[in-house]
């Protein structure tokens, strides 16, 4: 079976395009102070996830280049990566979602959902193929133990996706 290739467009550019679409195509609606506060907290949390994950890659001296996952020199499975296999992408989706919340528009969630779907269907599978090819059994065990997206509070469950 041929390995899927990572898309040419890097995920941060796709996330930026999703947020640009929110700004250009979706009218801003007057939103409550509470909604803006929740949006701000979600943005801070999402940015913290992405930054923390990037720092984990830096500490492990491995690449965070999503277009070249085969250049990885270490399989990072600790810290944030012990709870979700994709904290950087989860953070990007959270920031995009927070922008829709800030703008007060449910319609603004459409680009955020599109971003999550694009990552889930194109970017992540290509990365998973490369990591499975490079790390074999160690990656498959990690993949079974840690969910692709949302951390679970249940222990001992397998997460084959």
* Cα dihedral across residues 93, 95, 101, 103: positive or negative: negative
Distances (CA, A) of 13 to 6, 85, 144, 157: 14, 20, 29, 34
* Torsion angle of the four alpha carbons 62, 123, 157, 87, in this order, in degrees rounded to the nearest 10: 50
The residues near 121 (Cβ < 8 Å, ≥ 6 apart) are none
Per-residue pLDDT of the chain (161 residues; tens, 9 = 90+): 566 777 788 999 999 999 999 999 888 888 889 999 999 999 999 999 999 999 999 999 999 988 888 889 999 999 999 999 999 999 999 999 999 999 988 898 999 999 999 999 999 999 999 999 999 999 999 999 999 998 766 655 555 54
pTM, two decimal places: 0.88
């Amino acid at each position: 079976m041929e390995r899927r290739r990572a898309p040419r467009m890097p995920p941060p550019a796709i996330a930026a395009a999703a947020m640009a679409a929110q700004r250009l195509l979706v009218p801003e609606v007057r939103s409550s102070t509470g909604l803006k506060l929740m949006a701000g907290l979600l943005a801070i949390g999402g940015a913290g996830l992405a930054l923390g994950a990037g720092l984990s890659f830096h500490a492990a001296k491995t690449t965070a280049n999503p277009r070249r996952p085969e250049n990885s020199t270490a399989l990072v499975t600790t810290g944030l990566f012990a709870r979700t296999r994709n904290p950087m992408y989860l953070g990007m989706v959270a920031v995009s979602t927070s922008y829709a919340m800030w703008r007060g528009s449910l319609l603004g969630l459409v680009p955020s959902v599109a971003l999550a779907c694009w990552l889930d269907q194109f970017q992540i599978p290509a990365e998973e193929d490369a990591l499975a090819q490079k790390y074999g059994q160690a990656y498959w065990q990690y993949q079974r133990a840690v969910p692709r997206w949302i951390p679970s509070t249940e222990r001992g469950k397998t997460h084959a996706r």
